[in-house]
Amino acid sequence: MRIGPHTVDPPLILAPMAGISDLPFRRICRRQGAGLAVSEMVHADTRLWHTQKSRLRLHQSGEPDPRSVQITGREPAMMAAAARAAVERGAGIIDLNMGCPARKVMSKAAGAALLGDEARVRAIMEAVVAAVHVPVTLKIRLGLDRSRINAPVIARIAQDCGVQALTVHGRTAACSYQDPVDAEAIARVRETVSIPVIANGDLFSPEDALRMRAITGADALMVGRGARGRPWIFRRMARALETGEIPPEPGPETVLAIVREHLQALYGLHGPRAGVQVARKHIGWYLQGRPGAEAVRRALLQAEDPATQLERITRYFETLPPGEDIAA
């Protein structure tokens, strides 16, 4: 798939997830087969970018091109200024968030709440596209709720405004992550426009990827929660999409190497103390479904320094029996 001058190969994208898709995780996912990784969303008010949270979300050092930065807000001029600032910091793609269903975002009439104001949607996209020389992409949901499905209309507006790719999460804002993903609705959006459409929602396995592509005809797939604790899902999905074969999960030795690389990168970005705290949630996801994980989870999550955390996670994975492996 192409987004402006950029080729996304394989056509698999890491979703922008707040508190998860930081620089270490984006880099891990790119090495594990993602063709693109979108940053955590940052607020369009650049006056807030001096905060520690925003600085870390905007950090892109060593990240492979193209670098996609997602911004959220509701004021066209502010969104345009934020897009210009992000490009000055190295962004090669600007992604507009009109799909976040979080209450704190929706309450400010931003994120998915914008889907109820098509005139403002157009004004924002026109302003941002005119403000930057890099491709602009858009992420949306199907609509505010099942009675107000307007994703095809938003898609046509986006195309008219010069947006170069569109991600559609197959749920409404009202259903958050509860209802099943409506892949057929994504397919209807795909039929509406000629720009690339990226399908998103409930992609947890290679089988899910094959099914989503078959139903939607999407140009690419975006993986969010399915990548937590399983960044190699991109490599497995890529092989399945290319060959139709379902590759095995990586074995413990391969997983341990990825986990150690990830944790050490977290310590480097966040510092030893905060890095250990951020790593805990990722460790919890890496442990999900693994034999004997519950017995060691507390000790792993109670580690208070990098050396102890690494030693305990290493000891756990070294006790696991070898399994089928794939190259990392």
pLDDT of residue 328: 42
pLDDT of residue 327: 46
CB 226 within 8 A of CB 203: yes
Beta bridge partners of 6: 3
Integer angstrom CA distances of residue 276 from 176, 261, 280, 296: 30, 14, 6, 17
SS3 276: helix
Choice between 8 and 107, residue whose per-residue pLDDT is larger: 8
SS3 222: strand
Residues 214 and 211: their CA atoms lie apart, in Å, by: 5
The answer to whether the Cα torsion of 310, 311, 313, 314 is positive or negative is: positive
Short-list 76, 71, 68, CA closest to 98: 71
pLDDT of residue 153: 97
pLDDT of residue 179: 86
SS3 140: strand
**pLDDT tens per residue across span 299-320:** 888 899 999 999 999 999 998 8
pLDDT of residue 323: 66
Q: How confident is the model at residue 55 (pLDDT cuts 50, 70, 90)?
A: low
pLDDT of residue 249: 92
Integer angstrom CA distances of residue 173 from 39, 67, 302: 21, 27, 36
Classify residue 65 as exposed, middle or buried by CB count within 10 Å of its CB (0-12, 13-18, 19+). exposed
Determine what percent of the chain is predicted with pLDDT higher than 90.
Answer: 81
**pLDDT tens per residue across span 157-173:** 999 999 999 999 999 99
Tell me, yes or no, if 175 is annotated catalytic: no
Give the β-pairing of 6-7 and 2-3. antiparallel
The answer to whether the Cα torsion of 163, 169, 171, 176 is positive or negative is: negative
> For the whole model, what pTM was predicted?
0.94
Choice between 36 and 108, residue whose per-residue pLDDT is larger: 36
Euclidean distance between the first and the last CA atom of the chain, given in angstroms as a whole number: 24
CB 326 within 8 A of CB 247: yes
In the DSSP assignment, the letter for residue 94 is E
> ∠23-29-32 over CA atoms, to 5°?
145
Mean pLDDT of 62-88: 94
pLDDT at 52 > cutoff 90: no
Which residue among 29, 100, 161, 175 is the active-site one?
A: 100
**pLDDT tens per residue across span 207-219:** 999 999 999 999 9
Residues 55 and 57: their CA atoms lie apart, in Å, by: 5
